């Protein structure tokens, strides 16, 4: 049903293959658009986004156990904050 297609990367202009198996995968996930970037440009784009190591962390006190922890958001007084262990136990 699907055949390999040659597409042009929107970032670097290189040709890349959109294989029949990739097309089948896209269809199974309900994706309607073809990829716009080659694999190396997709990887570079993912890596350029904010990595968790670059994320600002805030100190907080766990509402369940009282332990000090770091969270990737600014805690508010009207919402409880949980350490990773207590958060996992609440799920």
What is the full per-residue pLDDT of the chain (91 aa) written as tens digits? 899 999 999 999 999 999 999 999 999 999 999 999 999 999 988 887 765 556 788 999 999 999 999 998 999 989 999 999 999 998 7
39-48: list long-range contacts, CB under 8 Å, 24+ apart.
40/12, 41/9, 41/11, 41/12, 45/11
- What is the β-pairing status of strands 58-61 and 5-8? unpaired
Show me where the domains of the chain are located: 5-49, 53-90
d(CA 67, CA 82): 9
Verdict on whether the full-model pTM lies above 0.75:
no
């Amino acid at each position: 049903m699907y055949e390999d297609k040659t597409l042009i990367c929107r970032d670097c202009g290189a040709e890349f293959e959109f294989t029949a198996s990739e097309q089948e995968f896209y269809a199974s996930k309900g994706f309607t658009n073809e990829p716009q970037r080659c694999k190396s440009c997709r990887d570079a784009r993912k890596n350029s986004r904010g990595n968790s190591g670059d994320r600002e962390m805030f100190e907080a006190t766990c509402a369940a156990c009282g332990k000090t922890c770091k969270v990737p958001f600014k805690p508010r007084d009207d919402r409880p904050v949980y350490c990773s262990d207590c958060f996992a136990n609440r799920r």
